Structure 1
């Protein structure tokens, strides 16, 4: 993956010298279950050199991957990064332990909205360190749309038959529900879920493939198989553009979901010291601009981000725009209703 460097010249030199000057001690390890780009060598290599903690990453393609992997047991992972709609499930299942926020030096600089989020606070304890956030935007190939799309309905158009892709995730129900005019997407009734399911089944003949990972969607665009889809805003579009294909993102008139990912410590990890060293790196300039450079996501710590981002990037990632953040339909835990949403999505995929 190509790194997009945005540090100022002086900062970049300082970081590079730090990597060279610090020996690799290999005194510990930290094993993480996370998303693509969250353990990229462009910033993790420096952490390994300076901390002596070897980082081993396993990647997920959906929030539904976390619980099965942790339930398998065996003490395989020390840290995980579920999204805000899944964190409460991790807590209630006993997979994670409370954080000692006094050990995280940048804790108070993280957006208050995220620090106080219900999904990471439980019975007076904090279980997650917010890391990055963004929108589930929509994306299209500029050369295939003389008139830019503005609505979710554009993914249901016969004009793009065989060129549509949606994320293989229960959040597809949210997309169809908004198209149906049901905007309270995290509290849908059974009837509304059925309507969303029917809408998605109606769309199936237009769908080339449901994408599972960031790389898969990039490949579908690069091969010319997909012209329009939803996307993890800022990430896949940048990778596609690097291949010489012009794509554009948009927030449809029916609005978009928002997400926030948090680092959580797996219960009884034997690598607690390295885990907290990793959390401190990820909440610092190195980790915050690291994820922004690699994934194009917004940072949870605007103070750190402002120190290492150019003014243009800071503005582009809405770090200074609380109205943008507040306008997104930030994912919520579905509680006992998760089964209804998941079953509906699975029924869509199995439908003829």
Structure 2
């Protein structure tokens, strides 16, 4: 039986108003602990719409794609890194979105909303949600001042006290930045391999989730490592951990996350309303100030933050913007090549 939508958008100040009929469900696929499953958010959405939010999670973009392939019709909303949207489109895993039904869409950063990664043949397949950086985060106990260079991770004094995510693409892009190259146009892969080979002896362990990273800092096992900007913010705001973000002179990897509606969704109206809530100032302000969040793609949501907030003052700085290299899609062949290189490096380091 088709799940029915009960919400009517009320405009800028109010989110929704329940209008009757039977309650439905909105099935959301996302990273765990990434906004959509925050208790305050699911409670607010459910109270205003009557629709229940059912969350499911993935631990990598490849797992996300696999879940879409193997569970057609199960999900109504999926969070997709824009660099992976091409693969979802090539496999017909997501459907066009009628942005006229998403009231807050008009407030999005125009450049991000018009990204060729999220739009194809005049149709929109992804609604920009948040953006952020993969860069250095440090254990404040190990530093009097923030490091200014990626090369800090390679220093002998941090041997056995560095962590990076066990992800081939992120690792290769880290190596590209460290060797002064464009992450989307790597000319000297040998230099990247050598840089990563030199770094691995300093790596205590790899992380795969925010919980991994935060536990290592809480137990003072690491000095620094690669981390996501929003995660670093949450570590400090929500868990009171001694974590600070640094954007080194070599630059940082930028990413853009979006929401899409999978092919076969049984509650498209519910999906549209949920996405509208996710890009609203009401949701974003509470997420950022009580939990910690990446930068909103909504200009109105960002403007609702205090002027001295990190996501306005620091992440909005033109100087920082100049250092960011945003991820572009890579081919399956490139991804496989990166994976083989990364696995070889890890084996040789043991």
Please report the TM-score for the alignment, with normalisation by the length of structure 2: 0.86
* Counterpart check, 1:278 vs 2:246: no
Residues 302-340 of structure 1: per-residue CA shift (max 9 Å, x gap): 113324x22322633645x56644641111101242222
Please identify, of 340-349 and 135-144, the stretch whose mean Cα deviation from structure 2 is larger: 340-349
Match of 2:201 in 1: 205
Q: Distance in 2 between matches of 1:178 and 1:57?
A: 35
Residues 184-207 of structure 1: per-residue CA shift (max 9 Å, x gap): 211224xx3343233223222211
Give, in angstroms, the shift of residue 23 of structure 1: 10
Residues 48-98 of structure 1: per-residue CA shift (max 9 Å, x gap): 111111111122333232212222234332211121211111111111011
Q: 2:102 aligns with which of 101, 104, 114?
A: 104
Aligned residues: 331
Q: Distance in 2 between matches of 1:239 and 1:223?
A: 13
Give, in angstroms, the shift of residue 172 of structure 1: 1.3
Q: Which consecutive residues of structure 2, in runs of 5 or more, have no partner in the other structure? A: 1-12
Match of 1:56 in 2: 54
Q: Distance in 2 between matches of 1:286 and 1:242?
A: 19
Give, in angstroms, the shift of residue 245 of structure 1: 4.0
Match of 1:340 in 2: 337
Residues 102-149 of structure 1: per-residue CA shift (max 9 Å, x gap): 111121210011011111011221100001111212111222134542
Match of 2:27 in 1: 31
SS in 2 for 1:166: strand
Residues 230-275 of structure 1: per-residue CA shift (max 9 Å, x gap): 1111423442565554232111110111111000100121121211
Q: Distance in 1 between matches of 2:121 and 2:340?
A: 30
Q: Distance in 2 between matches of 1:86 and 1:251?
A: 24
Q: 1:264 aligns with which of 255, 260, 265?
A: 260
8 A contact 1:103–1:276 mirrored in 2: yes
Please report the TM-score for the alignment, with normalisation by the length of structure 1: 0.85
8 A contact 2:146–2:246 mirrored in 1: no
Match of 1:124 in 2: 122
Q: Distance in 1 between matches of 2:212 and 2:182?
A: 30
8 A contact 2:232–2:245 mirrored in 1: no
Counting strand residues as a fraction of each chain, which structure ranks higher? 2
Matches within 5 A, 1:132-281: 132-146=130-144, 148-169=146-167, 170-181=169-180, 183-189=181-187, 192-240=188-236, 243-281=239-277
Give, in angstroms, the shift of residue 215 of structure 1: 1.3
Match of 2:7 in 1: none
Match of 1:297 in 2: 294
Give, in angstroms, the shift of residue 25 of structure 1: 7.9
Q: 1:41 aligns with which of 28, 35, 39?
A: 39
Q: Alpha carbons of 1:23 and 1:124: their partners in 2 closer, same or farther (altered >3 Å)?
A: closer
Matches within 5 A, 1:313-328: 313=309, 315-316=312-313, 318-319=315-316, 321=317, 324-325=320-321, 327-328=323-324
